[in-house]
Amino acid sequence: MSLNTAAANAQGISDDIKINQVGFYPNEPKVAVVMIADAAGKPFRIIAGSTGNVVFNGVLEHPVLSAYSSLKTCEANFSQLHDTGSFYLDIKGVGRSCNFKIQHHVFREVAIASLKAFYYQRASMPLLPAFAGKWSRKEGHPDTTVLIHSSAAFKKRATGSAIATPGGWYDAGDYNKYVVNSGISTATLLSAYEDFPRYFDSLNTNIPESRNRVPDILDEALYNMRWMLSMQDPQDGGVYNKCTNANFDGMIMPDKAIAPRYVVQKGTAAALNLVAVMAQGARIFRKYGNQFPGLADSCQSAAERAWSWALKNPDMPYNQDEMNKEKLPQITTGGYGDKNFGDEWLWAAAELFTTTGSKMYFEKVLAQMREDIRVPSWSSVGMLGYYTLLRHENQMPEYAKVMIRIMKNRLLTLADNYMPANTFHTVMGNTKKDFIWGSNSVAANQGILLMNAYLVAADKKYLEWALTNIDYLLGRNATGYCFVTGIGCKSPMHPHHRPSIADGINEPVPGLLVGGPNEGRQDKVNYEHKEPETSYTDQDGAYASNEIAINWNAPLVYLVSAMEVLSRK
């Protein structure tokens, strides 16, 4: 039992009440789920924390059996309560929920914490107490002497020679840096900015750059973009897949992790990820020419050079197992080995088309349009291209209009499949296929998809559906965890995150979204529960469900920030 579970139980908090532990907007739906099958018709009450007064009386309804496990639930709906303040839900004979808030801007704290989490992931700089508080730490991984792996040798960059690839974010609970996963993570932050610039103009996360008259979210994204730029070989424009150890480090602080670092094999996915991010960055940073002279041009030319490289190397997968048969030292860290590049081509072309207006990129988007467009993940990024083209619809030339209309229809058709229709009244978990490694990012990316549907169709149902997945991530799920460290009354205390394990501080680094339920349980740890939606455990060895990762945090940033802007005031 984790410490905060113990604290929760001590207050009479019932594990049978699953609720968003942060709270609700006054004018949006408010639902809790009760894990008691025969409770329909039983009364529940909402009680104000400050006065103890009953502010709402309701009745449990809608008993539902999970489609693929033994779970049964009832719903407590108190959407009609519009009072603001701190409350809890109480059911006679069952117990109470933890305290939650009803207020405008109820997710502001999560928005700030989830963005700040990227600062805590920064390599190559010390985290100072003024910004990191008790999680301050020494610099890790300067990455100024990174060896060319034998798989990456090319011309003047011979095996064993060294280059510098400093900065960027650690990918996850490990200390390696992967271009492929950096791509979707950075792009998701950049897209959050492009969709909601005014919100981010004033969102202060207290990072070293907070006073430079550039929104923190862009400063943060730029920290990783500069690293990505260093992963491009100036000789040919190709991009290395990753900057990595040969093997995963032990559970040590980053400054103690001093194993040799390598850049490993160039690849098509890495090149196209760099294209997409730099093309997007070029148009965003264009207006910050005073703060960053030349940056937009550098981004754009890096994108164009990587694009040319990819045209010459259109099908170069990163297959680590194959590589290890021929090249030394063997590399056993994360693979992010995608084999299908159609979606990367579409995304990269869409970004370059939007930034440059050049018709050849439009032709490439058109050539890569697929029927099977999906909720994004690190290996499936085509939808990111859709989002960008739809976002810039008004500036698109006449010849692109038909394509944009088709994209809009596909987006909305897909979004219509993501209605809340399961035991937890969430979109997440409609199918057990949702519960894969990093399932919480599935939930977050489904939410973003629905947000984009709302942005193009202005139908509030999409917003409400997206909100159900925020409720899911913050506690209305079968595990009863709020999956963001440091948030809510029951959140992960033991994520698979090396600094959190090694720093000697009881509380994990805050603002991190853990992977979430994963039926695969590839870490082989002993799980208390093994059904699709319960296969999560708060143990630090459980990397298949309790690791953290930048591509899981980024869609959380987007989702809660978007809701802050779009919720009914």
Q: Which residues are catalytic?
A: 174, 496, 538, 547
Is the Cβ–Cβ distance between 49 and 87 less than 8 Å? Answer: yes
Closest CA to 118 of 220, 207, 209, 200: 220
- Is beta strand 262-266 parallel, antiparallel or unpaired with respect to 146-148? parallel
Interface stretch with ligand G3I, choices 6-14, 170-178, 233-241, 299-307 (CB under 6 A): 170-178
Q: CA-CA-CA-CA torsion for 149, 154, 158, 160, nearest 10 degrees?
A: -10
The reply to whether 438 sits near ligand 9MR by the rule CB under 6 A is no
CA distance 340 to 338: 6
> Which residue, 317 or 541, has its beta carbon nearer to ligand 9MR?
541
CB of 249 to ligand 9MR, least distance (A): 8
> Which residue, 149 or 425, has its beta carbon nearer to ligand G3I?
149
How many C-beta atoms lie closer than 10 Å to residue 52's C-beta?
Answer: 7
CB of 500 to ligand 9MR, least distance (A): 12
The reply to whether 276 sits near ligand G3I by the rule CB under 6 A is no
Is the Cβ–Cβ distance between 27 and 569 less than 8 Å? Answer: yes
Binding positions for ligand 9MR, 136-175, rule CB under 6 A: 172-174
Q: What is the crossing angle of helices 342-356 and 359-368, to 10°? A: 150
| Among 132, 547, 555, 567, contact with ligand 9MR (rule: CB under 6 A) | 547
Is the Cβ–Cβ distance between 533 and 557 less than 8 Å? Answer: no
* Tokens encoding 399: 């010849």
CB of 283 to ligand G3I, least distance (A): 28
Binding positions for ligand G3I, 394-423, rule CB under 6 A: none
Angle at 264 between CA 258 and CA 270, to 5 degrees: 120
Of all residues in the shown chain, the one whose CB is closest to ligand G3I is 334
HEC string of 350-403? Answer: HHHHHHHCCHHHHHHHHHHCCCCCCCCECCECHHHHHHHHHHCHHHCCHHHHHH
Interacting partner of 438 out of ligand G3I, ligand 9MR, none (Cβ under 5 to 8 A depending on kind): ligand G3I
> Which residue, 147 or 436, has its beta carbon nearer to ligand G3I?
436
- Specify burial of residue 542 (Cβ count, 10 A radius: 0-12, 13-18, 19+): buried
Binding positions for ligand 9MR, 281-340, rule CB under 6 A: 334
Interacting partner of 436 out of ligand 9MR, ligand G3I, none (Cβ under 5 to 8 A depending on kind): ligand G3I
Is the Cβ–Cβ distance between 205 and 112 less than 8 Å? Answer: yes
HEC string of 316-340? Answer: CCCCHHHHHHHCCCCCCCCCCCCCC
Residues 6+ apart with CB under 8 A from 58: 43, 44, 45, 46, 76, 77, 78
The reply to whether 549 sits near ligand G3I by the rule CB under 6 A is yes
CB of 527 to ligand G3I, least distance (A): 15
Interacting partner of 533 out of ligand G3I, ligand 9MR, none (Cβ under 5 to 8 A depending on kind): none
Interface stretch with ligand G3I, choices 140-148, 197-205, 436-444, 482-490 (CB under 6 A): 436-444
Closest CA to 389 of 504, 280, 542, 528: 280
Helix, strand, coil percentages (3-state) for the chain, rounded to 5, are 40, 15, 45
Q: Which runs of consecutive H residues, i.e. helices, occur in 196-341?
A: 197-201, 216-230, 268-285, 295-312, 320-326
The reply to whether 335 sits near ligand G3I by the rule CB under 6 A is yes
Angle at 420 between CA 415 and CA 426, to 5 degrees: 115
Interface stretch with ligand G3I, choices 12-20, 120-128, 356-364, 432-440 (CB under 6 A): 432-440
Rg, Å, the chain Cα set:
23
Hey, which residues does 90 pair with through a beta bridge? 45, 96
> Which residue, 334 or 510, has its beta carbon nearer to ligand 9MR?
334
x/- string (CB under 6 A) for ligand 9MR, residues 73-92? --------------------
Instruction: Tell me if the bond preceding 329 is cis, omega within 30° of 0.
Output: yes
> Which residue, 415 or 549, has its beta carbon nearer to ligand G3I?
549
Interacting partner of 248 out of ligand G3I, ligand 9MR, none (Cβ under 5 to 8 A depending on kind): ligand 9MR
The reply to whether 547 sits near ligand G3I by the rule CB under 6 A is yes
Q: Is 107 left (phi over 0), alpha (psi -120 to 50) or beta?
A: alpha
Residue reference for tokens 């989830």? 114
Binding positions for ligand 9MR, 237-256, rule CB under 6 A: 248
Interacting partner of 520 out of ligand 9MR, ligand G3I, none (Cβ under 5 to 8 A depending on kind): ligand G3I
The reply to whether 563 sits near ligand 9MR by the rule CB under 6 A is no
Interacting partner of 335 out of ligand G3I, ligand 9MR, none (Cβ under 5 to 8 A depending on kind): ligand G3I
The reply to whether 377 sits near ligand G3I by the rule CB under 6 A is yes
Interface stretch with ligand G3I, choices 171-179, 266-274, 287-295, 451-459 (CB under 6 A): 171-179
Is the Cβ–Cβ distance between 387 and 311 less than 8 Å? Answer: no
Interface stretch with ligand G3I, choices 44-52, 183-191, 388-396, 431-439 (CB under 6 A): 431-439
Size of the site for ligand G3I (CB under 6 A): 16
The reply to whether 172 sits near ligand G3I by the rule CB under 6 A is yes
> Which residue, 295 or 383, has its beta carbon nearer to ligand G3I?
383
The reply to whether 347 sits near ligand 9MR by the rule CB under 6 A is no
| Among 134, 256, 405, 433, contact with ligand G3I (rule: CB under 6 A) | 433
Residues 6+ apart with CB under 8 A from 67: 422, 423, 432
> Which residue, 5 or 320, has its beta carbon nearer to ligand 9MR?
320
CB of 515 to ligand 9MR, least distance (A): 9
The reply to whether 517 sits near ligand 9MR by the rule CB under 6 A is no
Residues at the contact surface with ligand 9MR, assessed by CB under 6 A: 172-174, 248, 334, 541, 543, 547
Residues at the contact surface with ligand G3I, assessed by CB under 6 A: 171-172, 174, 334-336, 377, 433, 436-438, 520, 522, 543, 547, 549
